[in-house]
Copies of this chain bind each other. A is one copy, B any other.
Amino acid sequence: MNDAPAITTVPVKLGDRSYDILIGAGLIDRAGAAIASRAGSVRVAIVSDETVAALHLDRLTRSLSGAGIDSTPILVTAGEKSKGFATLEAVTNAILAARLERGDVVIAFGGGVIGDLAGFAAGIARRGMRFIQMPTSLLAQVDSSVGGKTGINTAHGKNLVGVFYQPQLVLADTDVLDTLTPREFRAGYAEVAKYGLIDRSDFFAWLEKNWRGIFDGGPERTEAIAVSCQSKADVVARDEKETGDRALLNLGHTFGHALETATNYDSARLVHGEGVSIGIVLAHQFSTKMNLASQDDAGRVEAHFRQVGLPVSIGDIPGELPSAEKLMDYIAQDKKVARGALTFILTRGIGQAFIAKDVPPSAVLSFLQEKHPT
């Protein structure tokens, strides 16, 4: 208590649905007190995956019971495959079986898969329960836990089914990231860099210099997470339901989602952040091809992602991939597509991303054929 480390607070301003993101070391141990002080005497369901639960669930349960809060764990298999209808049904039923009432709390305790899945279940169980995000992956701390998008995948594509459902609190314990595999840490890093590439060229330059401190758990880590959360919170406050600007956050995601669909959400081959990494590099290269951005900027992005150990091209994905034509098909089914013309996030250079509404599908296809000859 006395030597409690500093906590950074990032507010998300959404009128009567505003909430705080708390970021800091050792936050799990303070979760019980934080929840009790906000929500009073509630019961809690903790949705987590088996990997995260084995490493960190005990500490969370103890923190809650220390504050007089009973909790029921609801565990699913780790990995993207849990983001589907079958697991959604199981988790929702488990929340009902635990006899939680509308004012009780569902905690998402895990990476982005758990956040998206548990958030969706919390949004539909009893037409909406209280919901708290406790992201445990870097990707979830800097991106998926903030902003209220929840959802699952179907055979038709990523995240095509879900609800907008804001959490009432986000608790990001930075220590917990130490148990993440280097591969998953890197994947999350792609989303951190994304904020620099959208509209903060200074931040991207800072990352080029300071990325080692972020990976090693230096003070740069908390700093990078806070800047990322602030970037996302700003965008979400401007455009909660993605009728405009929020689409910028999809930089790299149209290509990335198509690659995830093409690898059948098989985490052994490709995880979300890796798809985003390749997608961001492709988006810069495509922007170059469209004479929008310089070759230099595209090269700088590719070099940085390669340096931190991220995949940067379609060829970096192990195993067989469907043809460029098939990838194009997945892109057309992605939700950022409006009636024939493709909406894409393109860029004029580092920190200068924009929403392009009239990208000719033929240009994308020929670019893909070049990047992925079969």
Q: Which residues in A have some Cβ–Cβ distance to B below 8 Å?
A: 85, 89, 92-93, 96-97, 99, 101-103, 123-128, 149, 151, 154-157, 160-164, 241, 333, 335, 337-339
Specify which chain B residues have a CB less than 8 angstroms from the CB of A123 in the assembled complex. Answer: 163
CB distance from A278 to the nearest CB of B (A): 24
Docked-complex contact A92 and B127, CB < 8 angstroms: no
CA distance A127 to B147 in the complex (A): 14
Specify which chain B residues have a CB less than 8 angstroms from the CB of A85 in the assembled complex. Answer: 85, 89
The verdict on A124 contacting B339 (CB below 8 Å), with A96-B154, A97-B156 known, is: no
Specify which chain B residues have a CB less than 8 angstroms from the CB of A149 in the assembled complex. Answer: 127
Specify which chain B residues have a CB less than 8 angstroms from the CB of A151 in the assembled complex. Answer: 127
The verdict on A127 contacting B93 (CB below 8 Å), with A101-B337, A101-B339 known, is: no
Specify which chain B residues have a CB less than 8 angstroms from the CB of A161 in the assembled complex. Answer: 92, 96, 124-127
- Which chain B residue shows the least CB distance to A165? B163
Docked-complex contact B154 and A93, CB < 8 angstroms: yes
8 Å CB contact of A156 from B93, B154, B160: B93
CB distance from A233 to the nearest CB of B (A): 19
Chain A facing B: main interface SS: mixed
CB distance from A153 to the nearest CB of B (A): 11
CB distance from A82 to the nearest CB of B (A): 15
Specify which chain B residues have a CB less than 8 angstroms from the CB of A335 in the assembled complex. Answer: 102, 126
CB distance from A17 to the nearest CB of B (A): 12
CA distance A338 to B140 in the complex (A): 33
CA distance A164 to B163 in the complex (A): 11
8 Å CB contact of A164 from B93, B127, B156, B162: B127
CB distance from A18 to the nearest CB of B (A): 18
- Pairs across A and B, CB under 8 Å, 18 listed: A85-B85, A93-B154, A96-B154, A96-B157, A97-B156, A102-B335, A124-B124, A124-B161, A124-B163, A125-B160, A125-B161, A126-B161, A126-B335, A127-B161, A127-B162, A127-B163, A127-B241, A128-B163
CB distance from A333 to the nearest CB of B (A): 7
Specify which chain B residues have a CB less than 8 angstroms from the CB of A338 in the assembled complex. Answer: 101, 103
